[in-house]
Structure 1
Amino acid sequence: MKVRGIYPDSYTYGSIINGLCKDGRLDEGVEFFDKMVENGLVPTAVNYNALIDGFCNKGDLEKAFCYRDEMIKKGVAPTLSTYNVLIHSLFMEGKDGTADSLIKEMEGNGMKKDDITYNILINGYCQSGNVKKAFELLDEMLVEGIQPTRVTYTSLIYVLSKSKRMKEAADLFEKVTRNGVTPDLVMFNALINGHCVNGNMEQALLVLREMERRKVRPDEVTYNTLMQGLCRDGKVEEARKLLDEMKERGISPDYISYNTLISGYSKRGDMKDAFKVRDEMFDIGFNPTLLTYNALIQGLCKKKEGVLAQELLKEMVDRGITPDDNTYISLVEGIEDIENFIEKGTP
């Protein structure tokens, strides 16, 4: 452009700033923003929003609010997008009170909530477990003539499940799907998680089959959730079958899948099977995590295999994994000659 004598305008800079911020290259985004100002171009709300969104995604709310304050100071009015991004980040940080204040400020500036705002608010209150407020916002949304989406209903299913109101969650799922809302993977995963957490494993597995009927492909989150639920019920063999089913369907198990099985076998005292899964995990290329070692050490200590547990502790430290309180609690409970263990010096 410069070679041809065409000088970039605020739109040119804005596109590059937006791209850099979305790519996580915030420092470069800020440099282009400053260069734009140096070249005499006036930043727009869109330019500021790109930086605010970038810093919010990075978790730097202080910097995001600094740019919000700067835009106001320079006479650039924040838009609904500005508020939506900031409100979402405040909820994610658990700062519900500050989010409420920002909503009042937004409305005081004559801005009405849109579908994105409502979904952010409903999800935010659902994350903090405020069922009443979430459903009040749903009612308000409908009164305003704004149609709830799958995102809205997924948040509500999540909060009902979390509040041990699983029947209401399942009823809501049935109602909205009957009324034409097509459930996606995230909505199905929320429902499955609810059934698993509430101990309804039979229902959770039926939901998996319903996904197949609707041709919604499950992912590793779906299977990991089901495996965790089965292992909590001591049905480790069934969880193992699900791991095999995952592989058959071309879904790659992750370290959570293997740690779930290791933990399930260890709690039941089936250490041979637990170590077999650990070896399988190694063969695939996954490194053991703190959870892997804690589950194995706990299982060995329950079986009074203190010497093996100590060897595993040494291996864990050699791999650069720092033991936590749970590691030592298991060891203290499982090692009979604890005085000798302490005298040797714990890693």
Structure 2
Amino acid sequence: MIRDSSKALFPSFNNMKAHKVLSSQILKRKKLKTVIPHSSALCSSTSQLVTSDQSQTASSQISPELLIESVRSSQWHFIKHQSSDLNPSVISTVLLNLHKTPELALQFTSHIEFQRLDVKTRCLAIAVASRLPSPKPTLQLLKQTIYSDIASVTVIFDELALARDRLGISTTILFDLLIRACCEMKRVDEGLECFYMMKDKGLIPKIETCNDMLSTFLKLNRTESAWVLYAEMFKMRIKSSIYTFNIMINVLCKEGKLKKAKEFVNFMENLAVKPNVVTYNTLIHAYCSRGRVEGARLVLNAMRSKGIELDSYTYSSLISGMCKEKRLEEASEMFEKMKEMGLVPSAITYNTLIDGYCNYGDLEKAFGYRDEMVERGILPTVSTYNLLVHALFMECKMGQADDLVKEMREKGLVADEITYNILINGYSRCGNVKKAFSFHDEMLTKGIQPTQVTYTSLIFVLSRRNRMKEADDLFEKIMSKGVAVDVVMFNALIDGHCANGNMERAFSLLKKMDKLNVSPDDVTYNTLMQGHCRKGRVEEARELLDEMKRRGIKPDHVSYNILISGYSRKGEMKDALRVRDEMLSIGFNPTLLTYNALIQGFCKNQEGDLAEDLLKEMVSKGITPDDSTYLSLIEGMGTIDHSVESCNPC
């Protein structure tokens, strides 16, 4: 009878082995007269459990030895069925016995539901899993444990230390992986705490572990913390690798200390660590991102002198830097050289050139690079289309922009937040309220949340169309949603109210900015000054200029031109010239706007000679008169002096 039931329990075993397992592991219990395994536990439809105490269950009879045999014979259904009644002591015994076969231990852990274990048992399971060749399973278990908040990371550290001792593990792998898990979860401060706990135990973390922390600090832009850790590593005599040095050079570059970053390369070499292509690429990228291409070229020369070959990243950084400086021809030449070297450009490199030519207004060249991408088998990305669509909107080529969005969708590319913001902004600039709001609604249906940029564009288009109540309502809705409002959004709303002559509402918004700690800028004040001048209140506009200065906001040439134009329209030319002189005294040169305003004012006052003198002066300064200039002269005097007639661009 026992033999038959053992076949149901372990069909893969022979009869003798099954009999031995049941005899030694189950029948040894003193109170049992006869044991026949319970059907639900053993997947049998006929066998039943008979004991002297009918209240006992099969699960209470499961011993560690039986579980171990079940694991080794892959009886996972049986183990999973018993898992809810297994106590930590039994599980720990099984794990300890399976530590030399961590693959089986990991499977066992997964079948007894790891997340249900207490922290001590979890840490023992993690310690056993750390014997696996790959660290991935251990990292996964560590992350689950940290994320569950079953215990603090310091408690987990202590429990891992106990498990390490029980298993006789001599390496620091458990602590290294714990720190790495913290870094991957962006909980680097807890990782650093573990670093110091290791130090207190006299244990030295691996350099790879330290690099993980340094790299995470760098990604989080916590450069000061990176230096604190690096100093601690130096004290503990942890030898830096080439990867460590590259991280620290990147830290210096992020801090804008490019000279020190170059000196750090020399420090590396003095320690017999040879810089590699990543070292130099880090420096080149830093120089180019700050618009210092010539500095990048010097690094490039040093790179070549060391015999280090340039790669795609080197060229891409230089091309990006040249595009930032609007040196597009040089960027194109560098791109051609890159291809001649046999290096394959990425979509990012093409996008950099497309962006450069779009900003320059050369859409033919930009689309040419898009076509070249396709010919070379490099698929245009969403970013590629975003750049081109934005450029078309800037040129008010709405139909072509729509066609490009359609093409993008036909190719299976999904519009992102940036795409929708470009579309909404583009139609807002063109004053198409309906189209702008239709894309806003589409955004919502796609599950993409509108951003500050989205709402600013919508407020702008409503203001431009004089739909100020709707603009105000939208603004209040944004505020109630908790969306952060910035100075650009306020400026769009203030501009609409100033254009509609509602100065009271405009100034109430200025007060609201102060309450919300949103600092006004020169555009805010220029808009308010313009609003006053439209109403002929130039002196009040002048007071706003003084208020700007008191608040530490530097007026620009637009600020002075607004006042000059305001005084000129009122025919108060003495005041207009006084503002012009003030403008000159602080280093702003008069612009076409300045001269046009003054000429218009003198013509209005029938002071044609002074208007003609200003025309001659502006021409002598290389400023070309436009239609407004001549229209003012014609309306004011009826004729134009022959001495300046040749200046007419017509």
Do both proteins adopt the same fold according to a TM-score greater than 0.5, normalized to the shorter chain?
yes
* Of 286, 308, 331, the match for 2:633: 331
**Between Structure 1 and Structure 2, how many residues are aligned?**
344
Deviation at 1:15, TM superposition (A): 3.0
Matches within 5 A, 1:38-57: 38-57=340-359
The aligned amino acid for 1:29 is A
Greater Rg by CA: 2
For the structure 1 residues 345 and 258, does the alpha-carbon distance in structure 2 shift closer, same or farther, using more than 3 Å as the test?
closer
Matches within 5 A, 1:84-95: 84-95=386-397
User: 1:61 maps to what in 2?
Assistant: 363
Q: Which region of structure 1 is more displaced relative to structure 2, 9-18 or 278-287?
A: 9-18
Q: Which region of structure 1 is more displaced relative to structure 2, 268-277 or 96-105?
A: 268-277
For the structure 1 residues 259 and 37, does the alpha-carbon distance in structure 2 shift closer, same or farther, using more than 3 Å as the test?
same
| 1:297 corresponds to 2:605 | no
C-alpha distance in structure 2 between counterparts of 1:287 and 1:37, whole Å: 46
Matches within 5 A, 1:8-27: 8-27=310-329
Tell whether the 8 Å contact from 2:522 to 2:556 is kept in structure 1 after alignment: yes
Q: Deviations over 1:220-240 (max 9, x none)?
A: 111111111110011111100
Deviation at 1:311, TM superposition (A): 3.1
Deviation at 1:344, TM superposition (A): 7.3
Deviation at 1:74, TM superposition (A): 1.1
For the structure 1 residues 35 and 308, does the alpha-carbon distance in structure 2 shift closer, same or farther, using more than 3 Å as the test?
closer
* Of 452, 457, 460, the match for 1:158: 460
Cα RMSD (Å) of the superposition? Answer: 1.9
| 1:212 corresponds to 2:514 | yes
C-alpha distance in structure 2 between counterparts of 1:206 and 1:305, whole Å: 41
The aligned amino acid for 1:62 is E
C-alpha distance in structure 1 between counterparts of 2:305 and 2:353, whole Å: 29
User: 2:611 maps to what in 1?
Assistant: 309
User: 1:226 maps to what in 2?
Assistant: 528
For the structure 1 residues 105 and 334, does the alpha-carbon distance in structure 2 shift closer, same or farther, using more than 3 Å as the test?
closer
User: 1:148 maps to what in 2?
Assistant: 450
C-alpha distance in structure 1 between counterparts of 2:315 and 2:630, whole Å: 55
User: 1:191 maps to what in 2?
Assistant: 493
Deviation at 1:4, TM superposition (A): 4.3
The aligned amino acid for 1:134 is A
C-alpha distance in structure 1 between counterparts of 2:622 and 2:319, whole Å: 40
C-alpha distance in structure 1 between counterparts of 2:341 and 2:643, whole Å: 68
Q: Deviations over 1:120-165 (max 9, x none)?
A: 1111111111111111111110111101001000000000011110
Q: Which region of structure 1 is more displaced relative to structure 2, 87-96 or 286-295?
A: 286-295
Matches within 5 A, 1:67-82: 67-82=369-384
What SS does the corresponding residue of 1:140 show, helix, strand or coil?
A: helix
The aligned amino acid for 1:284 is I
Tell whether the 8 Å contact from 2:358 to 2:387 is kept in structure 1 after alignment: yes
User: 2:148 maps to what in 1?
Assistant: none
The aligned amino acid for 1:17 is I
Q: Which region of structure 1 is more displaced relative to structure 2, 24-33 or 225-234?
A: 24-33
* Of 237, 259, 262, the match for 2:564: 262
* Of 109, 127, 130, the match for 2:432: 130
* Of 103, 107, 113, the match for 2:415: 113
C-alpha distance in structure 1 between counterparts of 2:326 and 2:617, whole Å: 37
C-alpha distance in structure 2 between counterparts of 1:191 and 1:178, whole Å: 17
What SS does the corresponding residue of 2:612 show, helix, strand or coil?
A: helix
User: 1:283 maps to what in 2?
Assistant: 585
User: 1:244 maps to what in 2?
Assistant: 546
Matches within 5 A, 1:22-41: 22-41=324-343
Query: Which stretches in structure 1 are left out of the alignment for 5+ residues?
Result: none
C-alpha distance in structure 1 between counterparts of 2:418 and 2:456, whole Å: 14
Question: Given the two structures, how large is their TM-score scaled by the length of structure 2?
Answer: 0.51
For the structure 1 residues 304 and 110, does the alpha-carbon distance in structure 2 shift closer, same or farther, using more than 3 Å as the test?
same
User: 1:181 maps to what in 2?
Assistant: 483
